[in-house]
Chain A
Amino acid sequence: MASSLLADKAMYNYIGIFDQASADKVILEVNDLLNHHDYSLKIRKKAFCITIEVVQNLFNYLCCNDVVYNKGIFLIHNNINEVAITSGNYIRKTEVNSIKSRIDLINCLTSEELRHFYRRLLEISSFSIQDAGGAGLGFVDIAKKSGNKIEYDFLDIDNEYVFYIFKIII
């Protein structure tokens, strides 16, 4: 998984702070990039939708108040007929189990089960200011749209933080 972070081989890379302006910049640039590539409409739309979810997830969950730990990485690699989207960011070790169990659950589901799970989450989603994210729909939506399993890894950094790598192939 760590080799997925090789930025020099990426067709798109952003490494740095993920604030509002940089998240917007990445989304706009990826939109332009995908529109100028020879992908089918289907792949372009899937890649862009997944980019939005991944980038907004980075923006929402970065350890914002620390100059070292508020940096992240977002990469797109181009393989034959497929696109790989990778993100990386620091998270607290206390968050690892929750992320891991959510992804493992999603990775166990068939496409039909994923669809039912998505509908169930949508049905019970609540509209509240306290719950401004995607109600846990993001991971499920990414898995559903890509048709592939989510790959992940957690690289040990220090006593408090790990570097969380997330990868999906479209």
Chain B
Amino acid sequence: MDNYTLQPGSKTPFMQFNMTSGVFEISGRSIPENSIAFYKPLLDWVDEYVKSPNIKTVLSIKLEYFNTSSSKCLVELFRKLESVNEKSEVTVQWYYDEEDEDMLESGQDFQFILAIPFELIPMEE
């Protein structure tokens, strides 16, 4: 199984999901009109990963902007990682600009509905 890497576009984020290390990253902007179509290949890749995950899985999210249709794709991604939590120690790291209260609030919303460790990490400007 290959790693999943996607270079950023004007409306889509950088993604790097390393199969062997269990280190995953999503960063930049996630504002595609059709987020479902955009995230589907990643979610298919994660379906394969969860069959034989690394002992540790760390997903870092550093988003500048994301639209509401991306937010439900992120929930789907988090749910898949929740399902692997018995086989792998999963952590989600949600980075936000310390001045961006909406991005902090979004992280808190995900943290509230999820059953995996979800860290909120402020970044200085």
Chain A interface: which of B19-27, B32-40, B84-92, B116-124?
B32-40
Chain B 56-75, CB-CB to A under 8 Å as 1, else 0, gives: 00000000010111011101
Chain A residue contacts of B33, Cβ below 8 A: 20, 23, 56, 59-60
Interface residues of A in 3-61 (CB under 8 A from B): 20, 23-24, 27-28, 41-42, 45-46, 48-49, 52-53, 56, 59-60
- Is B48's CB within 8 Å of the partner chain A? no
Do B101 and A42 touch (CB < 8 A)? Answer: yes
Do B43 and A127 touch (CB < 8 A)? Answer: yes
Chain B residue contacts of A128, Cβ below 8 A: 36
Do B65 and A49 touch (CB < 8 A)? Answer: yes
Interface residues of B in 81-113 (CB under 8 A from A): 97, 99-103, 105, 109-110, 112-113
Residue of A125, A127, A141 ringed by the most chain B CB atoms within 10 A: A127
Nearest chain B CB to A29 CB, angstrom units: 13
Interface size on B, residues (CB 8 A): 31
Closest to B110 in A: A122
Nearest chain A CB to B62 CB, angstrom units: 15
Known: A59-B33, A118-B109. A137 touches B72 (CB 8 A): yes
Closest to B80 in A: A127
A28 CA to B71 CA, complexed, in Å = 21
A27 CA to B67 CA, complexed, in Å = 12
- Is A123's CB within 8 Å of the partner chain B? yes
Interface size on A, residues (CB 8 A): 36
Chain B residue contacts of A145, Cβ below 8 A: 102
- Known contacts A28-B10, A53-B67, A134-B71, then 6 further A-B pairs from the complex at CB < 8 Å, ordered by chain A residue: A27-B31, A56-B31, A56-B69, A122-B72, A132-B37, A135-B69
Chain A residues in the interface with B (C-beta under 8 A): 20, 23-24, 27-28, 41-42, 45-46, 48-49, 52-53, 56, 59-60, 115, 118-119, 122-123, 125-129, 131-135, 137-138, 141, 144-145
Chain B residues in the interface with A (C-beta under 8 A): 10-11, 31, 33-37, 39-40, 43, 65, 67-69, 71-73, 75-76, 97, 99-103, 105, 109-110, 112-113
Q: Sorted from nearest, which 5 A-B pairs have the closest CB atoms?
A: A134-B68, A125-B72, A137-B68, A127-B76, A134-B69
Please list 17 pairs of residues, one from A and one from B, whose beta carbons are closer than 8 Å in the complex, sorted by A's number: A24-B10, A42-B100, A49-B67, A60-B33, A119-B109, A122-B110, A123-B113, A125-B71, A125-B72, A125-B75, A127-B39, A129-B36, A131-B36, A132-B35, A132-B37, A134-B68, A137-B71
